[in-house]
Amino acid sequence: GEISVWKTKVTLTCPEIGKWYKDDTVITEKTDDADLEIEEKSHTFTYEGKTTFHCEYTSEDDKPTKYYFRFEGKVCEDCYEVDARLIGLVIIVDIVGTALLMILICSCTQNKSSAGPAHSSKAPARSGGRPTPASSSEYEQLNRQTRSQDTYSVVNRTG
């Protein structure tokens, strides 16, 4: 058996063609002349609450067989069923599209940078205004009278 739900409609499918019962009462189809018992493989109804259904059919060995359904779910008029395969496909397409976009951007930026002059890996030359650092013996001591006496201008020697 199988149960499928679409919005507020519930469809029950029996393994074989048989009579349908709701709470042990046979389901009939009203016609002008009389009530006819329904013998079908599936039964569709509007869900209104917890109810027990069963179908009764004759099995291959000519024994009457009952197949019970109890649906306790939530249904709504504006609900939609989400298919896991569809969500997976959307995620895969998104990842592939993002990868292709990244490849396109990388190839475009590499083409533009190769058209210009080649950049060397050397550091730029220094301007002539400042000499190279000398050894520590060439430094002279600070004059204590010309130094400021602010908090962070005092040098404290440690060690």
Under a CB-based contact definition with an 8 Å cutoff, are residues 7 and 77 in contact?
Answer: yes
Q: Distance between CA atoms of 42 and 122, rounded to whole angstroms?
A: 80
**What is the per-residue pLDDT for 37?**
65
Radius of gyration of the chain (CA): 43
Same-domain check for residues 54 and 6: yes
Q: Is residue 59 part of a domain?
A: yes
Same-domain check for residues 6 and 57: yes
Q: pLDDT > 90: what percent of the chain?
A: 14
Q: Is residue 145 part of a domain?
A: no
CATH number at residue 14: 2.60.40
Q: Which residue has the higher pLDDT, 36 or 59?
A: 59
**What is the per-residue pLDDT for 93?**
98
Total number of domains constituting the chain: 2
Same-domain check for residues 96 and 48: no
Tell me which of 71, 103, 124 is where a domain ends. Answer: 71
Query: Mean of the pLDDT values across residues 71-98?
Result: 88
pLDDT band of 26, cuts 50, 70, 90: confident
Same-domain check for residues 14 and 60: yes
Same-domain check for residues 24 and 64: yes
Same-domain check for residues 8 and 67: yes
Query: pLDDT tens digits for 97-150?
Result: 999 999 999 999 887 655 555 555 566 665 655 666 666 667 667 666 666 666
pLDDT at position 91 over 90: yes
Q: Is residue 52 part of a domain?
A: yes
Amino acid identity for residue 62 in this structure: D
Query: Can you give the residue range of the structural domain that contains 25?
Result: 2-71
Same-domain check for residues 67 and 87: no
Query: Mean of the pLDDT values across residues 36-51?
Result: 80
Q: Is residue 89 part of a domain?
A: yes
Amino acid identity for residue 1 in this structure: G
pLDDT at position 156 over 80: no
Q: Is residue 120 part of a domain?
A: no
Tokens 């209104």: give the residue: 48
pLDDT band of 2, cuts 50, 70, 90: confident
Same-domain check for residues 51 and 94: no
Same-domain check for residues 28 and 60: yes
The two three-digit tokens of residue 136, written as one number: 């520590």
Q: Which residue has the higher pLDDT, 155 or 120?
A: 155
Q: Is residue 158 part of a domain?
A: no
For the chain, the residue count is: 159
Q: Is residue 139 part of a domain?
A: no
Q: Is residue 86 part of a domain?
A: yes
Q: Distance between CA atoms of 94 and 134, rounded to whole angstroms?
A: 60
The overall average pLDDT reported for the chain is 78
Q: Distance between CA atoms of 3 and 78, rounded to whole angstroms?
A: 19
Q: Is the pTM of this model over 0.85?
A: no
Same-domain check for residues 31 and 9: yes
